[in-house]
Structure 1
């Protein structure tokens, strides 16, 4: 058995070590210094290990270290200021806090981290971390790095008092998808917005060439994140400064964006958030200043309407022709071909995003009103009723009319004064009839394959999938159709009995009962048939021989 270092044991007893370490909460280095062994904390640690004195974990030690050393000026966080709300914006977007109240903020912009550290009275070191990967692409089977790994600068500290203050502003652990929006005093709105844009936003500047060959600088403000509620709160604040109103859009999964490229609004926001030469991220501030310096000159602060728009590629006469053709029910593609322009130009006019002085907003197509007459509507109605298995698309081809026209009449959205309302049993292009839907539902419940059901009723498999998932015929199904249990109840009870009362392996139980092992695993874990098993089945495992 090893003996503790003599140098340590000459100066302190085991009880003394325990008292200083666990009661006074001194570190091993501090104990070594007190007993005259400065710089020999490793000997104190070795003595504690041999004597069986339990040591703190790394996490406990870290918390103890930061508790004894506040690391920041707590008074800064207690007072409302322009600097506080700018830093709050950074923390809510690029910062994090753990359940142990450990606060971190990491950015690639060293000057911002250094400014934040100085402003909050940060006393620890600024950590540097390198991302392991940059941006990689594969070319001819070879992986090529197109962007070098970036260096991150991080500040970290633990302070319970600061954490409690920041919690009042929605700064909590695991906030990425659930981040709420804090209450910001009016006089600090601009500073908070600047912090958020420096954290999760971008100021984009890009040139375009007009039909006259002139280069025009465009700009865009963009913010993207996982919390829809936070982004909607930010939109509300920004739109107290600018005149426009823009949407928060979902961009797949749990990601939402808010952006606008109206020059006048960008200038108004820039002037507000950088008033009095406020501090900001250098690379983003430079772009803001570029936009502000250019201002309204050379027609840059234009609205999106009319031939005077320097990026316009069509004349007023062409725009008027496009509007008329859209109203007749022609597709955007055919309108573009007729006028001699692109689909993109026609779509933006149709959606009311350009030429607003001419359209006043979105162009209403009203296909049925412009193309049809009462006699033709009656023909459509008769065709739909006489051919219940034909899709709307087939009927539109048969009658040589736009698909939207047939859908509008059949769905009771147009010409209600002639049809009396919905006349079709179809859901979109579904051709399952009222007399067939009950049988389809029964077959789905009995676990007949979707393809077999589709073949029987001569429809596409997606029609059956839509019914099964409750997307169509929901008034009949009540939502997603619950299928009958695939396995008899007797077999499930037998599996539960084996799991509860034997030491058999799940693989052996599956072979004995004739059910896949994955089903046995899910029953044991309480993921399926919980109403029979009562939930997860805890088993006593026998020792391997």
Structure 2
């Protein structure tokens, strides 16, 4: 049991397992805390009593994710294992902590019955990528799919309420497609493909110290593919980075073009676009 009722006062008292939890975790400005809040925003469930939050995941990847949640929160209570007649084995944990529930509400807007109402939280910019990384781990998709030319293409997407998805996309430094999912109530999708997915994924998965789950592993696999068979946009991106680094060192456009292996007129265009972006920032 995670809690019990005192016979004299009628109040719920935490068990020793619950007492060992890191109750203050969601009050901390740490990437790992924001990541976990993102997981719970996507897949967690706040109980109506407002005393506990639970999380359930399926399959081997789900079991590993649950173990990471236990490690971060110092959870030592029971892990509930389910064996549905169809589908993969499920693993679930229940975090009994009114403090956690309150902090999730005030800092990350995670509440009971959040499915149709959830909004993008106002959190420090440094925590936005870790938070969305957790959200994507819980309720997103990262995959590699072939283009019509049979080239591997990265895909990153996630769903949520229309207002959550719109504001989340504003935080991501990449161009994605937004669409309403008509068959569901209050549901939209953010979708990034190709070089836009690469830019989004590099931002989402930037922190090397956060949990490397199934979605990160897919991104890592694509990163290895790019190094082996780089598409034109990736080669051009690398050349642009070389050229802009040369210009930052004070070299001429012609020198930067020779070093990057591109036409000097392209370097002029890159420099002009960078100047326009800087003037509007």
- TM-score using structure 1 length: 0.38
Are 2:118 and 2:164, in contact at CA under 8 Å, matched by a contact in 1?
yes
2:269 matched to which residue of 1? Answer: none
Q: Distance in 2 between matches of 1:265 and 1:72?
A: 39
Choose from 235, 243, 247 the match for 2:169. 235
Structure 2 CA distance for aligned equivalents of residues 201 and 165 of structure 1: 24
Unaligned runs of 5+ in 2: 235-281
Alpha carbons of 1:164 and 1:203: their partners in 2 closer, same or farther (altered >3 Å)?
A: same
Instruction: Give the alignment of 1:72-83 within 5 angstroms.
Output: 72-83=21-32
Structure 1: distance between partners of 2:17 and 2:88: 33
* Partner deviation per Cα, 1:99-132 (whole Å, 9 max, x = no partner): 2122101112111111111111112122112233
Deviation at 1:296, TM superposition (A): 7.3
CA-to-aligned-CA distance 1:341-382 (integer Å, 9 cap, x gap):
xxxxxxxxxxxxxxxxxxxxxxxxxxxxxxxxxxxxxxxxxx
Contact kept in structure 1, 2:156 and 2:201, CA below 8 Å = no
Matches within 5 A, 1:314-393: none
Looking at structure 1, the residues matched to 163 and 41 of structure 2 have their Cα atoms a distance apart, in angstroms, of 13
CA 1:132/1:246 → structure 2, altered by over 3 Å: closer, same or farther?
A: same
Report deviation, 1:246: 2.6
Which of 216, 220, 228 is 2:155 aligned to? 220
How far is 1:209 from its partner? 5.3
Per-residue CA deviations over 1:24-47 (Å, capped at 9, x if unaligned) read 66xxxxxxxxxxxxxxxxxxxxxx
Of 151, 156, 181 in structure 1, the residue corresponding to residue 89 of structure 2 is 151
2:127 alignment counterpart: 188
| 1:271 paired to 2:202 | yes
Where in structure 1 are there 5+ consecutive unaligned residues?
A: 1-19, 26-59, 134-148, 304-545
More strand by share: 2
Which has the higher Rg, Structure 1 or Structure 2?
1
Report matched runs for 1:501-540 at 5 Å.
Answer: none
CA positional deviation for 1:302: 3.7
Q: Indicate if the aligned counterparts of 2:37 and 2:134 stay in contact, CA closer than 8 A.
A: yes
Alpha-carbon displacement from aligned partner over 1:41-86 (angstroms, at most 9, x marks no partner): xxxxxxxxxxxxxxxxxxx8xx444599435112323211000000
Q: Would the aligned equivalents of 1:66 and 1:157 in 2 still touch at CA under 8 Å?
A: no
The separation in 1 between residues aligned to 2:126 and 2:6, in whole angstroms, is 49
The alignment partner of 2:120 has SS state of coil
Pair 1:245–1:115, CA change in 2 (3 A):
closer
- How far apart are residue 245 of structure 1 and its match? 4.5
The aligned residue for residue 104 of structure 2 is: 166
Where does 1:293-332 land on structure 2 (aligned, <5 Å)? 293-295=224-226, 298=229, 300=231, 302=233
Deviation at 1:249, TM superposition (A): 2.4
8 Å CA contact retained: 1:112, 1:281: no
Match of 1:100 in 2: 49
Aligned length: 224
